[in-house]
Chain A
Amino acid sequence: MPPPPKSDLPQGTLDLLILKICALGPVHGYAIAQRLQQVSRDVVQVPQGSLYPALHRLENRGLLAAEWKPTDTGREAKFYRLTRKGKAHLEVETASWRRLAAAVALILRLEEGAAQ
């Protein structure tokens, strides 16, 4: 089966997804990329070149906190977790996204109806 078409994410949306993944527990960058790909069933594949700048930006804004911890393999990795400020931001942005998505869906449905 051919791989499903990749969708390019606008930057604000990428931040939102990263925050959501980190809300589930401390996780390092590679795990975030994997999780995003798995959960979205390969639709969302983030080029690593934009993942890490986004992670660092979120960390500098205080929405994520980072810690270097050893992994199961013994190597050290940088684990990110959500801060309280990040949690608040996540809630706000999730609500905003849901509103937007609902509005877009309404408009799209309207076109189909008008065509009848």
Chain B
Amino acid sequence: MNWFARLWRRRDLERRLDQELRFHMQERMEELLRGGAEERDARRQARLEFGGLEQAKEQCRDARGTRWAESLLQDLRYAARTLLKARAVAPIAVAAMALGIGATTVIFSAVYAVLLSPLPWPEADRLVALHQRIPSEPRVRFSPREFLAWTNGTRAFSSLGAYAGNAFTLTGRGEPLALYGTLATPSLFEALGVRAAFGRTFQPREGAAGHEHVLILSDALWRDRFNADPNIIGQSATLSGESYTIVGVMPPGFSFPSRRYSLWIPAALESGIFRKFPDAHLLSVAGRLASGVSFAQLQSEIDLLSRRAFDQDAGTQRRVWFQPLAELSRSEVRRPLITLLSAVAFVLLIACANVAGLLLARSTGRRGELAVRIALGAPRRRLIQQLLIEACLIAAAGGLLGSVLAGWGVTVLRKMGAATLPGVETARVNLPVLLFAAAISVLTGLVFGVVPSVIASRRAAHERLRSGPRGTRDRTATWAQSALVSAEIALCVVLLTGAGLMIHSFVRLASVDPGFRAQNVLTASVVATEASYRDANQVLRLYNSVLDGLRAIPGAS
């Protein structure tokens, strides 16, 4: 019978244990009877020889190896019963923990979605973005000439790609749509290491002039504008007046460089705008490190190549630097999110102090019960275990309720944060977030349970009760309660001060005078695609017709 079976069938085993030991005593008694003793003497003798029945049973129970689990289960059942009866304290404590844990879980789900969730690129820690830095600007892009020099000279990168964003107009598929797309060299997809969900990514020859009219769609655009047509590969689309053949659709969840950009066309560095302006800093650069290359080696290669490239610009203060690609989108968002997480952790601490105070007050009322248990010989460890389990039960109930609240809170967060926190739209209460909620439930249960249980189980307090009149105050418990209240107030003050400062800054920002009256004014941008509007006159005619149309709207001036 393995350990679990022994735990499960405890009652059965107890019965059998009793039966076995009694059988032994009866056999002995009968042997003595056969030897001529009287029944009462025989029974007494058998019992004496056996030693204590209960002691023997206790030792056999220890031999079972399940004592600790049995005592835990027993305490759990007892804790549940007492908590259900505590109609005043239990709901308040559970509600406090639910609010604290719920709020923390909501913010953590955002932290997870934006900062912690794995990136869609394989071995994302090998991907690196390159920038140039000059004294007035930390992030300067590369020119086509510079990029080509790097591509030819580098040995640290297994592939290096360049990209630039642009505005496009999609026509021919429903209403004309203004959108952002990325011009990307085929080597960029090679560096990222992602494959298309349908079709393919760019081939190297599409980076050359004449072959660059191909197009890769994002999953969102494909569903939105192309009806999720499974036969989309090979069809064509009109972008800014020019026709492109669709060669691939990316998987859902993939976006580069951000969710703003819904399609990719090849960046042909030898033609078009790149040829016209070979020294314009148009290109962002990202690449994958070759296997075995460390960041230190990359840095030394950068130093070497920079010296070679910038020797011609004597006295330049240009430096090339790199950062992990993952940080690129996350660095701005990290600080506000961590601040939010700290703030909500304070809220959780306040809830913990609150519940600790409640439990401490409650334990004063249970002194009689605890004194009896101590008198019966319960070790202090067992009392602490009992009280801690009650605390953890409250925390667990609070955690469950808090997770439900968090589900609703995350929906609110998604709507509110979508503009300022890229990536928060994917925040949801998924498995890692639930595990986090479970972990902090257990942790907070132990944290706020330890103070009341250690204080309430002190033998000294109960012994004093024996001699003193009823209603003696427990000085340590009172002191602890005051300390808890002070701690709560301190935490609240910190939070309120922080909130007050933030509101103050926000009010100041909002009341800055922009120099014009901004009420009831709408702005819009119009993109006149080069293909259809080839010269300045045509563009002027377009603008005038738009203005005439706008003037005709009643109420507008």
Contacts and interface: CB of A to CB of B under 8 A. Distances in A.
Contact of B49 (A28, A48, A53, A56): A48
B472 interface: no
B27 interface: yes
Interface string A2-24: 00000000000000000000000
Interface string B1-34: 1000010000000001001110110111010000
Given A29-B20, A47-B51, A52 B26 contact: no
A29 B24 contact: yes
Interface in B369-424: none
B436 interface: no
A53 B19 contact: no
Contact of B27 (A30, A47, A76, A78): A30
B63 A48 contact: no
A70 B495 CA distance: 74
B20 A53 contact: no
Contact of A49 (B51, B62, B65): B51
A36 interface: no
4 A-B pairs with least C-beta separation: A49-B51, A53-B59, A56-B63, A30-B27
A56 B56 CA distance: 11
Nearest to A53: B59
A40 interface: no
A78 B56 contact: no
Nearest to A77: B23
Given A30-B28, A47-B51, A78 B60 contact: no
A68 B62 contact: no
Contact of B16 (A29, A30, A78): A78
B334 interface: no
Nearest to A45: B49
A116 interface: no
Contacts of A54: 63
Given A60-B63, A60-B65, A78-B16, A53 B56 contact: yes
A75 interface: yes
A109 B6 CA distance: 49
Nearest to B52: A49
B119 to A, nearest CB: 50
7 contacts: A48-B49, A49-B50, A49-B55, A50-B59, A53-B56, A53-B62, A54-B63
A30 B24 contact: yes
Contacts of B50: 48-49
A80 to B, nearest CB: 10
A57 interface: yes
A47 B56 CA distance: 10
Contacts of A28: 23
Nearest to B50: A48
B459 interface: no
B64 interface: yes
Contacts of A78: 16, 19-20, 23
A49 B19 contact: no
Interface in A37-53: 47-50, 52-53
A75 B26 contact: yes
A49 to B, nearest CB: 4
A69 to B, nearest CB: 12
Interface residues of A, number: 20
Interface residue range, chain B: 20 to 34
A52 B21 contact: yes
B60 A56 contact: yes
A42 to B, nearest CB: 14
B64 A75 contact: no
A28 B6 CA distance: 21
A57 B27 CA distance: 23
B359 to A, nearest CB: 38
A91 B243 CA distance: 88
Contacts of B55: 49
Nearest to B46: A48
Contacts of B28: 30
Contacts of B60: 52-53, 56
B56 A60 contact: no
Interface in B450-503: none
A17 B62 CA distance: 21
A105 to B, nearest CB: 33
B51 A60 contact: no
A60 B21 CA distance: 18
Nearest to B65: A60
Interface string B44-71: 0000011110011001101111000000
A64 to B, nearest CB: 12
A57 B6 CA distance: 13
Contact of B59 (A49, A60, A73, A77): A49
B63 A75 contact: no
A77 B20 contact: yes
A48 B51 contact: yes
Interface string A71-112: 001011110000000000000000000000000000000000
A29 B28 CA distance: 11
Contacts of B59: 49-50, 52-53
B278 to A, nearest CB: 80
Contacts of A30: 23-24, 27-28
B64 A60 contact: yes
Contacts of B30: 73
A49 B55 CA distance: 7
Nearest to B21: A52
A48 B24 contact: yes
